[in-house]
Amino acid sequence: MSVSEKGPSQRQLRVGELVRHALADILARGEIADPDLDGVILSVPEVRMSPDLKNATALVMPLGGRDTKKVMAGLERSRKWLRGQIARRVNLKFAPDIRFRLDTRYDDDDTVNVLLHRPEVARDLDEGE
């Protein structure tokens, strides 16, 4: 089993959680001076760290899933500033470079649920019993 198949290390998970808390705190306080992020409530359910801890991928979702393109553009413009703020709050050798991705897990779950309840799929699942 290779390292990538095992999943993230305990250290990656721990540092990811520290970065997530710092990022969520910064976003909750509304400290970012970007018009596209003004008044937007963001959730940060997960931060994934690279094995060397130099890159962080933050999964984010605006409340209600509205204006995602504007919000992502605002976060992208604020990356360097956020990196500096996280460096002040999390004691690491290197401040991680942050990438933002929309958290689509809930939408993906809904899609799978709809597919599983389609008549032809339900019929096929019933045949197996």
pLDDT string in tens for the chain (129-residue length): 455 568 889 999 999 999 999 999 999 888 888 888 888 889 999 999 999 999 999 999 988 777 889 999 999 999 999 999 999 999 888 899 999 999 876 555 556 666 666 777 777 767 655
What is the predicted pLDDT for the residue at 20?
96
What does the H/E/C string look like for the chain? CCHHHHCCCHHHHHHHHHHHHHHHHHHHHCCCCCHHHCCCCEEEEEEEECCCCCEEEEEEEEHHHCCHHHHHHHHHHCHHHHHHHHHHHCCCCCCCEEEEEECCHHHHHHHHHHHHCCHHHHHHHHHCC
**CATH number where 41 lies:** 3.30.300.20
Q: Write out the residue range of the structural domain in which residue 77 sits.
A: 3-103
Q: Per the domain annotation, does 116 fall within a domain?
A: no
Residue 123 covered by a domain: no
Tell me the pTM: 0.74
Q: How far is CA 65 from the centre of its chain?
A: 13
Question: Per the domain annotation, does 84 fall within a domain?
Answer: yes
User: pLDDT per residue over 99-112, tens digit each?
Assistant: 999 987 655 555 66
What is the reported pLDDT for 106? 59
Q: Is residue 19 part of a domain?
A: yes
In a domain, 122, yes or no: no
Residue whose structure tokens are 């393109």? 69
- 46 within some domain: yes
pLDDT value at residue 64? 74
In a domain, 118, yes or no: no
Number of separate domains in the chain: 1
In this structure, is residue 48 part of a structural domain? yes
